[in-house]
Amino acid sequence: MPSPFPGMNPYLENPELWPEVHSRLIVAIADALNPQLIPKYRAAIDRRVYDLNADEALLIGIPDVTVERRSAVETQAKNNVAVMTPPASPVKVRVPMPIEIRESYLQIKEVATGEVVTVIEALSPTNKRPGKGRNSYEEKRREVLSSHTHLIEIDLLRNGEPMAIAAGNIKSRYRILVSRGDQRPQADLYVFNLPDEMPPFPLPLKIGDEEPVIDLKLLLDQVYDRAGYEVVIDYAQTPIPPLAETDRVWVEEWLKGKGVR
């Protein structure tokens, strides 16, 4: 069964699924672009690596610390032999171990020079919450925006704080930013919500070169099919993270119309 939604599938945002969706989507974009870019350019996969602490991990749904309590019931001796009172039973805990996070992204490089022409990012939950993940991403974002490198920033996550743009209070569940290095501070922002189709967008390259169009919906649907998500997603349940009320009503009606519920 293909993904039943016209645009983003909110069930893919589940913290248990999203890391895999993210990794597969980055690879799918690279695989789709390289036949159109080679031999002048190449889409190369790179990654950021950092550790999260316990609080940050719990915020994005990664279980980190659990506490197991043992019963402290004392058993009294049934004879007259004097015995020492046993010490209090300890509480069994797990100490918070750092969790290594690896986030993949794409660099479009000019083959002859090795120059990074465009960076393509797909945001993760850690990028949209306060903490090390957001700090690391924002630092990299500032570096790109202060250079001549183009930036494509894909945000397919409803939860969390969107990345800053100097364009007022734009309300949308999802967004794609295309920031050309030679046109800053102007940039193109594609916004869409759950009922909307996912807009295709161009890949900026050097002036004069033909720019491929990225059909993100097509690529995400291919990821959905190849990963077999139809057998792990229960469309009878509500998505995680929870939907706003208007989105919840729309999703229920849409899935009923598709015969999924």
Predicted structure pTM score: 0.83
Whether 82 is covered by a domain: the verdict is: no
Whether 78 is covered by a domain: the verdict is: no
Confidence of residue 101 (pLDDT cuts 50, 70, 90): confident
165-197 per-position pLDDT tens digit: 887 678 899 999 999 999 999 999 999 999 999
Strand pairing of 116-122 and 150-155? Answer: parallel
Does 107 have pLDDT greater than 80? yes
Whether 113 is covered by a domain: the verdict is: yes
Does 8 have pLDDT greater than 90? yes
Whether 75 is covered by a domain: the verdict is: no
In terms of Cα–Cα distance, which of 113, 37, 98, 106 is closest to 65? 98
Whether 84 is covered by a domain: the verdict is: no
**10 Å Cβ neighbour count for 69?**
10
Whether 80 is covered by a domain: the verdict is: no
Whether 199 is covered by a domain: the verdict is: yes
Whether 86 is covered by a domain: the verdict is: no
Contact yes or no for 240/15 (Cβ under 8 A):
yes
Which structural domain range is residue 113 located in? 10-65+99-257
State what percent of residues in the chain have pLDDT above 70: 84
| Total of domains in the chain | 1
Does 152 have pLDDT greater than 70? yes
